[in-house]
Every structure is written in C-alpha cells, then in structure tokens.
C-alpha cells in the first residue's frame, strides 16, 4: 500500500484546518424546509399521489368541457340573451 | 474503531481541530492509497493533491455531516469525487499539451489511459449508492469484505452479494471495448 510521509500528512492536515468551516444554518423551521421534510417522507408519497389523482379528476372534466364546448352554441346563447333583453 | 471515528467526526463537526487531526491521521494513508488507485500508479503527485483537497473538503463540510452512515463512507465519497474532478482536469491539460507540443506517443498513451480510467470511474458513479460504496471500499480502499460489512452496517452475506451484484452491474455498464481492454490487462 502506498504511504504518505508523516510530515507531508501533518502539513496537509494543518493546511486543511487553516480553512474556515462551513456554517450550517438550522433552517428546519422555514417553510421550504418543512415542505421538503414532508415530501421526503415515504407516507407523503401516498398523499402526493392522492392529491394528483384528485387534481386530475377535477381539472380534466373542466378542461375537456371547455375545449368540447361548441362555439356556435355559445354564440346562440349570447344571441338569445340579447334578444331577451330587447 | 468506527464508533471512535464517529465520535471524532462529531467533534470535528463542532469545530474541534484536534479531533480532525486524529481523524485525518487515522485515515490519511488509506485515503492516499485509495486516491493512488483511483488516479493510477503513474500519478502519485495527483494522488497527494487529491488527499490534500479531500482533507480541506472534509474539514469544511464537516458541519453538514449527519451521524447516519460510517465516517469512512463519507470520507471515501469525498476522495472519489475529488479524484473524478482531478481526472477531468488532468485529461484536459494532456489534451491541450497534445495540441501545443509534439511529444506524441507518450501523451497519446497517457490520454488513452486517462480516458479508460475515466470511463471506469464514471461507470462506478452510475452504480446504486450502496454498491458504489462497497466497490470503492473493497477494491479501491482495500477493506476486507468483513470490514466493508461493518462499515455498511450489513451482514457479511449481504455485503458479499452486494459486491457480486455491483461487479455484475459494472460489467454490464462498461462499454464493450473497455471490458476487452480490462480483461487483456
């Protein structure tokens, strides 16, 4: 096994400790940290999946009905309303 | 030993320089041996650089350490990523030299060697976390299977199958030409 000379290793160690250590802020109370914490938990996968399915079932009929709505029907409806107003 | 290192790492995390000195002295030679294997036997100087950079990283990032895995695992991951960076930089400098000077054959061999080594390291990096660490500790840092099992907190049988699976996966992930190159070596 290749070895380092003890004095070289000591020099490297002293060089390393001459640097400043990172300061780690305790951000466990911040909103983002709490969100991250919540979604990193396995049980949260179920919640995420469930909310995704709910979103899909609610949003897709709305968007489908919007895109499927006949433009002519809307015009007819508006025309009717105008006639009624007259 | 591992528990001792965890204690000293915890103290290092709190900024205790003496604990860091103890850690670095205990792991320094193994770090150097690992770096030498990762960098290649012709690059002893780069291996020394890798140890120096890794010690700085270890000291600086110690406050981020969480007492979940082994200290050795944490340290060898740092060594691995440092060697990858040095490899890339070294390869680039050899490529540039190639354009400047005309000492062709040596440099070309150097470059091929570096490229093969880089492919190997990149492939190891693609392995799942535990397999990567097992390969790194067993083949590059020279820990026995029993020691690896202690470091990974697994049974010996589980570690053995982990290493076998990692080797199989590594074999499948490696490009065919490199597999031939390695089997000829």
B32 contacts A12? CB cut-off 8 A: no
Cα-to-chain-centroid distance, residue A80: 46
Average pLDDT, integer, range B126-134: 89
Q: What is the pLDDT of residues B7-40, one digit of tens each?
A: 999 999 999 999 999 999 999 999 999 998 888 8
pLDDT at position B61 is 93
| Domain containing residue B38 | 2-184
Average pLDDT, integer, range B66-90: 87
pLDDT at position B101 is 56
SS3 A40: coil
| A33: closest CA of chain B, how far (Å) | 15
Number of structural domains (chain B) is 1
d(CA B42, CA B31): 17
Burial class of B151 by CB neighbour count within 10 A (0 to 12, 13 to 18, 19+): buried
Residue ranges in B40-103 assigned as alpha helix (H):
44-61, 71-100
Give the pTM.
0.64
The ipTM is 0.73
Does residue B112 contact residue B78 with C-beta atoms inside 8 Å? Answer: no
B15 contacts A13? CB cut-off 8 A: no
Q: Which of B43, B185, B31, B173 is nearest to B114 (CA)?
A: B43
- Helix (H) or strand (E) holding B17, with range, is helix B17-39
| B55: closest CA of chain A, how far (Å) | 6
Residue A59: pLDDT band with limits 50, 70, 90? confident
């Amino acid at each position: 096994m290749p070895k380092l000379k003890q004095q070289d290793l000591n020099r490297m160690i002293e060089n390393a400790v001459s640097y400043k250590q990172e300061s780690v802020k305790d951000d466990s109370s911040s909103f983002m940290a709490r969100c991250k914490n919540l979604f990193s938990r396995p049980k949260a996968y179920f919640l995420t999946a469930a909310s995704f399915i709910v979103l899909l079932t609610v949003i897709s009929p709305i968007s489908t009905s919007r895109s499927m709505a006949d433009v002519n029907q809307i015009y007819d409806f508006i025309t009717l309303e105008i006639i009624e107003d007259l | 030993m591992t528990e001792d290192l965890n204690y000293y790492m915890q103290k290092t995390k709190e900024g205790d320089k003496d604990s860091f000195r103890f850690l670095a002295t205990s792991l320094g030679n193994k770090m150097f041996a690992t770096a030498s294997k990762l960098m290649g036997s012709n690059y002893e100087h780069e291996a020394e650089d890798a140890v120096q950079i890794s010690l700085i990283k270890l000291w600086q990032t110690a406050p981020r350490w969480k007492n979940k895995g082994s200290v050795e695992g944490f340290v060898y991951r740092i060594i691995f990523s440092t060697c990858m960076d040095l490899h890339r930089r070294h390869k680039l400098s050899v490529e540039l030299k190639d354009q400047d000077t005309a000492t062709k054959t040596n440099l070309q061999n150097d470059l091929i060697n570096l490229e093969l080594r880089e492919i190997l390291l990149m492939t190891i990096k693609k392995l799942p976390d535990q397999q990567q660490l097992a390969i790194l500790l067993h083949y590059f840092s020279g820990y026995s299977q029993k020691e690896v099992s202690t470091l990974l907190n697994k049974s010996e049988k589980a570690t053995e199958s982990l290493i076998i699976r990692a080797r199989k996966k590594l074999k499948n992930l490696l490009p065919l030409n490199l597999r031939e190159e390695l089997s000829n070596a």
